[in-house]
Amino acid sequence: MDNQKPVTVAKSVVNESEQIQLAIQMIKLGARLQLLESQTTLSRERLIKLYKELKGVSPPKGMLPFSTDWFLTWQPNIHASIFYNIYKFMLDYTGVSGIQAIIKAYSLYLQQVEIEGSDAEPVLSLTRAWTLVRFVESKMLKLQSCSCCGGNFIVNTYDINHRYVCNLCHVPSRAGKTKKAKALTYKVVSMTA
């Protein structure tokens, strides 16, 4: 502390590079432009430029998914539940929060569902994961433990089911109990236990 350097200038440069790093991280994980705009202080033009540079194409247009219904359908519900269990663990047991917790939890989710390194699109996109967190924060969705397997799953807050049975213990006939689905159930249950 022997001199009074203009701290604010240094700070804003650091902050800007942090913002760019954050945007790059999110773009690589598949974030939509609206998500990038809401979570960084970078301008729309800047974000579009970054996106094009990293992905080689312009960011897709269109609105963010709005309805909670998607998270309650069979396969998305399993994936949303896996992500949210990891995210909750992050909040409860590590020091991270906010978008950083979402990014970390999402990366771990990709590892869990074995998408990383393959060309397949993950069922739950980063944008959906972020939307899910907002739905839970606004109390439209919540985690509920299944009375059959004990796993924690995403449910509609206004569902007045006293004995909740998850989609995996009660599989609709059209979905079928695939090996992969079974493996994912064990993951949700083991995360909760």
Nearer to Zn ion among residue 131 and residue 152 (C-beta)? 152
Nearer to Zn ion among residue 47 and residue 78 (C-beta)? 78
Rounded to a whole number of angstroms, the minimum distance from the CB of residue 144 to Zn ion is: 10
Rounded to a whole number of angstroms, the minimum distance from the CB of residue 47 to Zn ion is: 40
Rounded to a whole number of angstroms, the minimum distance from the CB of residue 16 to Zn ion is: 46
> What CA–CA distance (Å, rounded) separates 36 from 180?
32
Nearer to Zn ion among residue 13 and residue 148 (C-beta)? 148
Q: Are the C-beta atoms of residues 80 and 167 closer than 8 Å to each other?
A: no
Amino acid type, 20: I
Nearer to Zn ion among residue 67 and residue 147 (C-beta)? 147
Under rule CB under 5 A, which residues in 124-183 are in contact with Zn ion? 146, 148-149, 166, 169
Contacts with Zn ion by CB under 5 A: the residue count is 5
Is residue 191 near Zn ion by the rule CB under 5 A? Answer: no
The dihedral over CA atoms of 28, 61, 133, 92, expressed in degrees to the nearest 10, equals 20
161 CA to centre of own chain = 26
Rounded to a whole number of angstroms, the minimum distance from the CB of residue 166 to Zn ion is: 3
What's the DSSP call for residue 58?
A: P
Is the dihedral angle over the CA atoms 62, 124, 122, 178 positive or is it negative? negative
Angle between helices 98-112 and 74-93 (to 10 degrees): 130
Rounded to a whole number of angstroms, the minimum distance from the CB of residue 92 to Zn ion is: 22
Q: Tell me which residues touch Zn ion (CB under 5 A).
A: 146, 148-149, 166, 169
